[in-house]
Amino acid sequence: MKWQQVCTRGDAHGERERERERERERERERERERERERERERERERESKRARERERARERTRERERTRERERAIERERAIERDRERERERERERERERERERERENGRMRG
């Protein structure tokens, strides 16, 4: 066998080996890209979860505010009712006072 044939065979073998190495490198790069995509997906899921948590927190805040507003409305109604009751009591007291005054006037007329 001539040297040139051996050398060519060696070159062909080396080229096949280099091609296999390039293919392994392309596969490693594809795997790294898949891993980056999985990480991006995990980050999207984490962000989505954080967004849902923020929305739930906002809803809880809105619900607490609605509850406080209902409580304030109830308290306003109670205050209005207490004021009305006090006014009715004052009116009853004035009426009793007028009644006593009439009785005194009637007593003086008779006496």
The pLDDT of residue 80? 98
Eight-class DSSP state of 43: H
The pLDDT of residue 7? 53
pTM beyond 0.75: the answer is no
Can you give the residue ranges of every domain in the chain? 1-83
Half-sphere exposure of 64 (CA within 13 A, CB side): 6
Length of the chain: 111
Instruction: List, for residues 1-44, the tens digit of each pLDDT value.
Output: 454 554 555 577 788 889 999 999 999 999 999 999 999 999 99
The pLDDT of residue 109? 76
Residue 85 or 111, more confident: 85
Residue 97 host element (H or E): helix 3-110
